[in-house]
Structure 1
Amino acid sequence: METFLENYKNIFESDLIDEMAQVGIFKKVAKGQLVLDVGEYIKYMPLIVSGAIKVMREDEEGEELLLYFLEVGDTCAMTISCCLGQKKSEITAIAETDSSLVMIPVKYMSIWMSKYQSWQNFILESYNERISELLEAVDTIAFLKMDERIYKYLKDKAMVNRNDLVEVTHQQIANDLHTSRVVVSRLLKSLEKQNIIELQRNCIKVLKL
C-alpha cells in the first residue's frame, strides 16, 4: 500500500487516497497469471501498483489477439465499461510481469465519480488513452506488414518490462499476434539480419528502441 500511495498521491485527492486504502484489496499476481477472463462478471476494478498487464481480445474460436499493455497508473477502459454496465468481461487480462494491484470494489466507481473530481478525470483520461491504443492496434493490423507488427510488439514488451531483453518464445509471439509460429520464426530471422534484434535462446534482444 505504501507503493500504491507513492504512485497515486499526485493523481488523486488525499481524501480519496484514504478511502482507497480502506476499501481497496491488495493483490499480487505472478508473471503469466490470469487476472481476468472472458465471461467473468467484474466485481473489482484494478489499479496497477507495479508491473504490467497485457489485455487480450478473444474470438469465437478461442484465438486471442493482443490489444494493449497496462502499466503503473493505468486502468482498463474495457473493465470500467463492463463494471458500469454490469456486463460480463469481454477481454482477457494476463500478468506480463510479476505485478501488484489494488482492487477497488465496483460499487465505489459511481460514488466517486460524483464525489471526487480527480477520480472523474482519471476515468475519462483512461478511456481516452485506451481508445487511442485500440485505434493504434487497429492501425497496426490494417496497415503494418507482419514483420513491422512483430518488431513493434517486441519494442512494446521491452518498454513495459523496462528491459531490452524480451523473454518470449516464437510460439508466444504467434499467439499474441494471431499468426503462425513458422511465419514468426522466418520474420524474426529477417529482422535479425537487419541488425535491429538479436535472437537468443527463449529470448530476443531489441537493439533499437
Structure 2
Amino acid sequence: MSNETEDLVHQILGRSEIEPQLAEEILSIGRLKKVKAGGVVISPDSTGNEMPIVLEGLLKVMRQDQTGGEVFLYFLEGGETCAMSITCCIEGKKKAFHVVAEEDSVLWMIPMAYIDSWVVKYKSFRKFVFDAYQTRFDEMLNTIDSVVFLKMDQRLYKYLLDKKQASGTFVINKTHEQIANELNTSRVVVSRLLKQLEREGKIEQYRNRIEIM
C-alpha cells in the first residue's frame, strides 16, 4: 500500500485523534476500491456488507420508492461515509437507496462485521460514526424542508449550489434529464426553470454543462 493511501486512511478519523491500533486494523482489514463516474457502490440488490469511506471523489445517495422512482438525498465527500448503509447492514434490512459515484472516486471499504466492536472499543471511531449519523440526519432534514417548503425553482437552485459545494467547482456536467431524475420531476420542468435561472443571471448554460455564476 502506498504512503499516500496510508496517509488518507489515517486522516479519515481525524489525524491525531485516531488510536494507533485502530489505524492498523483499518489498514489491514479494509480494502481499496476505485469507482468510475456513474458506477454503483451500493444498490438495493447489493449482497456485500461493507461500509464505504470516501478517500477521493464524490458519491451521491439516492432514495428509491416502491415504484422504482428515485430522488436525490445528499452527497458524500472525502472522509465521509454513508450512515444509511451502516444501519441497513447492522439491522439486516433491505436497502432502499442507491449510492453512485458522481465522479471518479477512491473508496476504502470496511467489512460491517467489525463496526460494532470498533464503536465500543475505539473512541475515535465511535465519534466518526455518530458524526456521520448527525451530518446525514441534518442533510436529510434539509432535503425534506426543500421538498415541503421550497418551490421547484428554489429546489433546483439549491441542488446546483449543493453540487458546487460538494464538488468544489462552479461547472456542473449534467444533462437536464439527469437533473430531473435526481429531483424526481420532468425534464421539461427542469429545462424551463434553468432558462429562468439563466435569465436571472444565476447560471450560464452550455451543451450538457451548467456554470454557476
Same fold (TM over 0.5): yes
Per-residue deviation, 1:2: 2.9
C-alpha offsets along residues 62-101 of structure 1, whole Å, 9 cap, x if unaligned?
Answer: 1110011011111111111012112222210000111010
Corresponding residue of 2:9: 5
C-alpha distance in 2, partners of 1:164/1:113? 38
Specify the SS of the correspondent of 1:97. coil
Question: 2:195 is aligned with what amino acid?
Answer: K
Deviations 1:41-74 (A, max 9, x none): 4411111101111000011221110011011111
The verdict on how the C-alpha distance between 1:62 and 1:3 changes in structure 2, with shifts beyond 3 A counting, is farther
CA distance in 2 between partners of 1:90 and 1:81 (Å): 12
Alpha-carbon distance in 1 for matches of 2:20, 2:200: 51
Over 3 Å counting, the alpha-carbon distance change for 1:3 and 1:49 in structure 2 is farther
- Normalising by structure 1, report the TM-score: 0.95
What is the identity, as a one-letter code, of the residue corresponding to 1:2? Answer: E
**1:56 corresponds to 2:62:** yes
Select the residue among 174, 187, 204 that pairs with 1:198. 204
TM-score (norm: length of structure 2): 0.93
What is the CA–CA distance in structure 2 between the aligned matches of 1:36 and 1:42, rounded to whole Å?
9
Per the TM alignment, residue 147 of structure 1 is displaced from its structure 2 partner at its CA by 0.7
* Corresponding residue to 2:168 among 162, 165, 183: 162
What count of residue pairs does the alignment treat as equivalent?
207
1:84-123 aligned at under 5 Å gives the runs 84-123=90-129
- Cα deviation per residue 1:159-192 (whole Å; 9 max; x = unaligned)? 2221101001000010000000001000100000
Separation in structure 1 between the aligned mates of residue 73 and residue 56 of structure 2, nearest angstrom: 20
Q: Decide whether aligned partners of structure 1 residues 137 and 177 sit closer, same or farther in structure 2, where only a CA change above 3 A counts.
A: same
Aligned equivalent of 1:15: 21
After the TM superposition, which residues 14-33 of structure 1 pair with which residues of structure 2 at under 5 Å, given as runs? Answer: 14-33=20-39
Does residue 78 in structure 1 map to residue 89 in structure 2? no
Which stretch of the first structure deviates more once superposed, 58-67 or 154-163?
154-163
Contact 1:56 1:68 in 2 (8 A): yes
Give the percent of matched residue pairs that are identical in Structure 1 and Structure 2. Answer: 44
Q: Report SS of the residue matched to 2:174.
A: coil
Q: State the distance in 2 between where 1:62 and 1:90 align.
A: 10
Give distance in 2, aligned partners of 1:99 and 1:50: 5
Residue 40 of structure 1 corresponds to which residue in structure 2? 46
Distance in 1 (alpha carbons) for counterparts of 2:87 and 2:47 = 12
- Deviations 1:83-123, CA, capped at 9 Å, x for gaps: 21122222100001110101001111011011101111111
SS at match of 2:81: coil
Measured after TM superposition, the shift of residue 6 of structure 1 is 5.0
Moved more, 28-37 or 151-160: 151-160
Task: Report the AA paired with residue 15 of structure 1.
Answer: Q
Structure 2 residue ranges without an equivalent (≥5): none
Whether contact under 8 Å (1:41, 1:89) holds in the other structure is no
Mapped partners of 1:12, 1:83: distance in 2: 24
Matches of 1:5 and 1:189 in 2, distance apart?
43
The whole-number CA distance in structure 2 between the counterparts of 1:149 and 1:76 is 23
